[in-house]
Amino acid sequence: MNKLLKTRGAKAATAPTPGATHRPHRILVVDDDTGIRKIGAEVLAHHGYQVDAAEDSTTGWKALQVHTYDLLITDLDMPRMSGLKLVKKLRAARIVLPVILASGIMTPQELKESPWLQLSGALLKPVSPDQLLQTVQAVLSAPDGVREQIAPPQNRQSQLSAEDLRL
């Protein structure tokens, strides 16, 4: 994990720049491993992205109902509701949001062989900061026809506090 902190000084080529007139891309990171979640969120935030982090898929799903995101990065293997189930739920709700699925047990190639998941990217854990940033850049720089920003549903029954999105 310390490896992730070493490249914090590099700027992502497509990351928003301070003082820019456009809003930064908003990313939701969902991972049950506190260290991985916190470091991933810190690396992305350091490179100009607005990041929310959720400790499990249930909290992540609630965040997706309340906030608008440009990208979801989720771990595959989590207790209660896996990242795979989160993606299935997202797709069943017809939310067309780019998703990067991270896994320590399935290779990116295996994940890409499941087209029904409509994954925008896949990462094999452990992930270096460069791998994370390159994948995020590639997904967020995809043509608009490939990537759609979807607003959360109008029904906001479940409200999330800042505590729900803690690192």
pLDDT, average across residues 106-123: 74
Structure token pair of residue 155 = 């029904």
pLDDT for residue 153: 39
The pTM for the full model equals 0.74
**Contacts of 114 by beta carbon, 8 Å cutoff, 6+ apart:** none
Residue spans per domain, the chain: 24-149
pLDDT for residue 147: 46
pLDDT digits (tens, 9 = 90+) for 34-44: 999 999 999 99
CATH number of 24-149: 3.40.47.10, 3.40.50.2300, 2.30.110.10, 3.40.50.920?
Answer: 3.40.50.2300
**Residue the block writes with tokens 């992930």:** 127
AA letter at 145: G
Dist CA 54 CA 32 (whole Å): 8
